[in-house]
Amino acid sequence: MLPLNEIITGDARELAREISDESIALIFTDPPYLREYLPLYHWLTQEAARVLVPGGWLFAYGPGEYIPDVLDLMRGCGLTYFWIFALLHNGGYPRVWYKNLMSGYKPVFVFTKGKPSRLPWQASVGSVAADKQFHEWGQGVGFAFKTIDILTSSEDTVWDPFVGGGTTAAACKMLGRNYLAFEIDPGTAQIARDRLLNTQPPLFVLQPEQLSLDG
């Protein structure tokens, strides 16, 4: 049994074998973008089809350079394509030198396991501020926080197989959600653990029986 609410060091492809079928409400992750790592998107989508609850969601950041390749790898794995969200870069335009291109956004590939169990209004275009204090490729916590907030509840579990500096885990802790987080690099995993020690949980978490449609 994998422990919840900890950063687990190891290869996600091996650790994921211990995740129970249909036990994850949302996968929110930022895989590595280099071409050599693109097959991870195929693996991720296959695993998502197994571990997500019916109606669960997969959000995966990705490289704009390889959008067609990533979509090809993610199709036909048992999930339903939902949309590609666009996160506008806040504070700079990364250069794609061999194309003389200044990229203004980052795509997020969104799939569901069948019909979504939750379908709130979402904006397909947003902005994200880079946060490099915990990882060289780190993202700000805002988009993760908002997505986890509207697509999960307190009894749900969120999985990030490539947690890096701990952004997804930090958002979960702030919201009072359970998380399952893997990181292959021991040094990076420790940075994420240290980060979470300084991340405050919510002061008060409503239990399901305390919620009402009237808010």
Q: What is the pLDDT of residues 77-89, one digit of tens each?
A: 999 999 999 998 7
Q: What is the pLDDT of residues 43-67, one digit of tens each?
A: 999 999 999 999 999 999 999 999 9
Average model confidence (pLDDT) across the chain? 89
Specify the amino acid at residue 75. R
Q: What is the pLDDT of residues 143-197, one digit of tens each?
A: 999 999 999 999 999 999 999 999 999 999 999 999 999 999 999 999 999 999 9
Of 213 and 150, the structure prediction assigns the larger pLDDT to 150
- Round to whole Å and give the CA distance between 15 and 99: 38
What would the two tokens of residue 181 be?
């987080």
The mean pLDDT of 103-118, rounded to a whole number, is 95
Residue 134 has pLDDT above 60, yes or no: no
Percent of the chain's residues with pLDDT above 70 = 88
The mean pLDDT of 98-127, rounded to a whole number, is 93
The CATH number of domain 7-210, selected from 3.40.50.150, 3.40.50.1370, 3.40.1670.10, 3.40.30.10 = 3.40.50.150
Beta bridge partners of 52: 24
Q: Phi first, then psi: what are they for 133, rounded to 5°?
A: -70, -20
Between the two ends of the chain, the Cα-to-Cα distance in Å is: 36
Q: Which of 7, 16, 45 is nearest to 179 (CA)?
A: 7
- Residue 92's pLDDT band (cuts 50, 70, 90): low
At residue 93, the pLDDT reads 72
- Round to whole Å and give the CA distance between 44 and 156: 19
| Unique residue bearing structure tokens 């946060």 | 131
- Round to whole Å and give the CA distance between 135 and 150: 26
- Round to whole Å and give the CA distance between 99 and 119: 38
Torsion of CA 161, 127, 129, 35, to 10 degrees: 50
